[in-house]
Amino acid sequence: MIGIDINLKTLGFAKHNAFNHGVFENVQLIQGDFSQMNIDKFNPDLVFLNPEIIENCNKEKFSIFTDITPDITATLLKSFNLCKNIILCLPKFTKINEIATLFSTILKITERFFFCIKLKNNFILEKMRILQ
């Protein structure tokens, strides 16, 4: 398993969890910006995206297109070039119409993919579907 995160503190949590679960020997942790990395050398079965939300964003006005870094559409497209199995974590206050817009953009580019959307912070909505 390879974990990539720009935040060193997050990588520390991942390292700690890997040790606690006895899988550290099977985990490679890399500090970096996924959106800026040359990731052609990776051949994953699954890409798990947990994008960073801009601090102090207004929850009522939150938009996945302006309040997530790096750009979520570009990150998803880069991910789909690697793998067709994506898990995307979003905050619980994400607007469903923005999710629909995001995935309709992806469907214009790729014919078929498997996705799971998980809304964070104890309000979990999981939708899994194969789209053709």
pLDDT of 37 reads 79
Is residue 87 a part of any domain in this protein?
yes
Inter-residue contact 37 to 63 (CB < 8 Å): no
* pLDDT, tens digit, 9 for 90 and up, residues 77-94: 888 878 777 888 888 788
DSSP-derived 3-state class of residue 114: strand
In a domain, 15, yes or no: no
Q: Is residue 126 domain-resident?
A: yes
Q: What is the largest CA-CA distance in the chain?
A: 43
C-alpha span between 113 and 106 (Å, rounded): 9
Instruction: Out of 19-23, 26-30, 33-37, pick the least confident.
Output: 33-37
> In which band, very low, low, confident or very high, does the pLDDT at 113 lie, cut at 50, 70 and 90?
low
Domain contains 16:
no
- Does any domain span residue 2? no
pLDDT at 118: 61
pLDDT at 90: 82
Strand segments, DSSP code E, in 20-92 are 28-31, 47-49, 52-53, 68-69, 85-90
Of the chain, the percentage scoring pLDDT greater than 70 comes to: 80
Q: Which two tokens stand for residue 128?
A: 């899994």
124 assigned to some structural domain: yes
Full residue range of the structural domain in which residue 105 is found: 47-131
> Is pLDDT at 130 greater than 60 in this prediction?
no
31 found inside a domain:
no
Note whether 79 and 106 are within 8 A (CB). no
The total of structural domains in the chain comes to 1
Average pLDDT over residues 60-77: 84
* 19 domain residue, yes or no: no
